[in-house]
Chain A
């Protein structure tokens, strides 16, 4: 039986390595300094992807700034204040439902609500908001679990010293839950940063460099999608994919290192 599990583990790792390896092998040759720093020429057949990298950073930042406080706030409410009642069940059910909605539906909603109804027009800001909605359930769910995992004895210790409930939450509970919350935020944003379907109707797909977040733009996954489906350049599509993979790897490794360092300091190991 152990062999079966061992094999499952090995196969999973191999699949992962093959995919990443394939993308890097096909994509890395397209990447050079010009590719990273120049604007695209002829719809991306040549030139670079600098506006796409900036677009991706913009939408991810907007998504993070909107979704992280909202998700963590809801998690604090549910874990610390709400107890068990109908509203709580409704919020949890809402989060689960939100998580299972197909991303293209989010895109359609974003188009009709943010772009048209609220009159934001095609913009990276609207794209960021759609991605925030998508990242929200993950951030909320992981944050709630991390907050609930903080030992009761910490809370009691703080209350017994005369701290109020809120002081206990923000001075003891949240700092202790930060590693888990960070993981949740990164998980949620990693999904958002690699999303094409959710933003394709919303960001306007412009090729030029976005100056502000209220400009239209074209994040990396959308550029990749257009390059591949419109037969513009498979090489540059793979190049874009490789840049995306590397970006996500960097974000994951950097946050993991920071979280580990924080945990070490906190737990004295």
Chain B
């Protein structure tokens, strides 16, 4: 079953045509990797999925994006509800300058959960799921800004998990991290795919092969090829995909 279906998506910012005729199906509870050179539209694409582009001036789109069969750009859709279902982890860890606890509790408070026991419990669960609990359990009231980059990124993942989304978008979540932190995040992605549908943008092709089941190759705003990750890397159907993954450009 598909969690997300995108049909003929075109995105423009003012006169710049960033995404062209994007068609993709994202199956439920799998990891889908989006690869491609810088500026190919991968980030723009995932930011379209939780409507983060809405606030950028000049954003226009045509085509359809369905989440569980519902058109997410339908005027009746509440963006707040959509973002509750489609969480996002950014390229640079961006915890709030608040305590570790408050960072994880933030989304719940915003969504009107005020029962302290519920919040307490879910903060702990989320930090455990994000493999961060053991490192921070004794300093939950300390500022999140004091954590290392890798810990901050796992905190951002915990913060996202805490609102119990269906989909987690990850925009190059490891590009600002050292190799050890990267491994931890990748292990985490493996664990999370049982409960969440994950779409990860990555520059790193090894990472795509390590974490994802499906991969789509973006080039100049188009999807050149989508396939099972293994197939895409071993037997690319398109010459451009082959050139990219063998390092001839990009």
Contact = CB atoms under 8 A, between A and B. Distances in A.
A156 interface: yes
A269 interface: yes
A268 B144 contact: yes
A154 B94 contact: yes
Contacts of B88: 160
A158 B109 CA distance: 12
Contacts of A158: 96, 106, 110
A160 B143 contact: no
A32 interface: no
A172 interface: yes
A17 interface: no
A266 B163 contact: no
Contacts of A91: none
Interface stretch (B60-68, B78-86, B118-126, B221-229): B78-86
A268 B98 CA distance: 9
Given A151-B94, A175-B97, A268-B144, A161 B52 contact: no
Interface in A152-175: 153-154, 156-164, 167, 171-172, 175
B146 A268 contact: yes
A176 B97 contact: yes
A19 interface: no
Interface string A30-46: 00000000000000000
Contacts of B55: 159
A220 B107 CA distance: 49
Contacts of B231: none
A175 B98 contact: yes
B97 A162 contact: no
B23 to A, nearest CB: 25
A267 B96 contact: no
A153 B92 contact: yes
B110 A162 contact: yes
A151 B94 CA distance: 9
Contacts of B107: 161-163
Given A158-B106, A159-B52, A161-B163, A153 B90 contact: yes
Interface residues on B, range: 20 to 34
B55, B92, B96 — which one has the most chain A CB atoms within 10 A of its CB? B96
Contact of B145 (A153, A164, A167, A267): A267
B145 A162 contact: no
A157 B156 contact: yes
A162 B96 contact: no
A265 B144 CA distance: 10
A266 to B, nearest CB: 4
B80 A164 contact: yes
A163 B112 CA distance: 11
B70 to A, nearest CB: 16
A161 B50 contact: no
A15 B92 CA distance: 46
A172 B107 CA distance: 12
B80 A171 contact: no
Nearest to A167: B110
A268 B95 CA distance: 12
Contacts of B92: 153
B48 to A, nearest CB: 13
A171 B83 contact: no
Contacts of A161: 83, 87, 106-107, 110, 159-160, 163
B97 A160 contact: no
Given A161-B110, A176-B96, 14 more contacts: A151-B94, A154-B96, A156-B94, A157-B95, A158-B96, A160-B83, A161-B160, A162-B81, A162-B83, A162-B163, A171-B110, A172-B96, A268-B143, A269-B146
Interface of B: 50, 52, 55, 80-81, 83-84, 87-88, 90, 92, 94-98, 106-107, 109-111, 142-147, 156, 159-160, 163
Closest 9 CB pairs of A and B: A268-B146, A268-B143, A153-B94, A161-B107, A160-B88, A162-B83, A162-B84, A266-B97, A157-B94
20 contacts: A154-B96, A157-B96, A157-B156, A158-B96, A158-B106, A159-B55, A159-B83, A160-B88, A160-B90, A161-B87, A161-B160, A162-B84, A163-B107, A172-B96, A265-B143, A268-B144, A268-B145, A268-B146, A268-B147, A269-B146
